[in-house]
């Protein structure tokens, strides 16, 4: 497994999912990844969207030369209700 694949996998382990109010669905984020979030009708859909967005986010950060955030252990629960 290459380093970027491992980094993406480890970053996704830090993802948090929040249920939005009413029928708004869910939003998924990874702490420390500024501007990266994904929404979905279900928790599973928001995580899948986040995974896709993370690939693009990493690519853009590397092309811009901004580097990647250090991965820190999770301080928040995986799922929170709004």
Residue 81 pLDDT > 80: no
Q: What are phi and psi of 2, to 5 degrees?
A: -80, 170
Give the pLDDT confidence score for residue 78 in this predicted structure. 53
Q: What is the 3-state secondary structure (H, E, C) of the chain?
A: CCHHHHHHHHHHCCCEEEECCCCCCEEEECCCCCCCEEEECCHHHHHHHHHHHHHHHHHHHHHHCCCCCCCCCCCCCCEEEC
Q: What is the mean pLDDT of the chain?
A: 90
Euclidean distance between CA atoms 57 and 24, whole angstroms: 24
Question: Which one has a higher pLDDT value, 73 or 1?
Answer: 73
Q: How is residue 16 written in tokens?
A: 């948090």
**Residue pLDDT, tens place only, 5-61:** 999 999 999 999 999 998 999 999 999 999 999 999 999 999 999 999 999 999 999
Q: Model pTM?
A: 0.83
């Amino acid at each position: 497994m290459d380093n970027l694949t491992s980094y993406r996998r480890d970053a996704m382990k830090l993802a948090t999912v929040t249920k939005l109010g009413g029928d708004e669905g869910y939003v998924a984020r990874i702490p420390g990844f500024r501007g990266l979030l994904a929404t979905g009708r279900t928790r599973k859909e928001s995580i899948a969207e986040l995974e896709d967005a993370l690939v693009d986010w990493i690519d853009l950060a590397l092309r811009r030369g901004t580097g990647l955030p250090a991965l820190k252990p999770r301080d928040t629960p995986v799922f929170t209700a709004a």
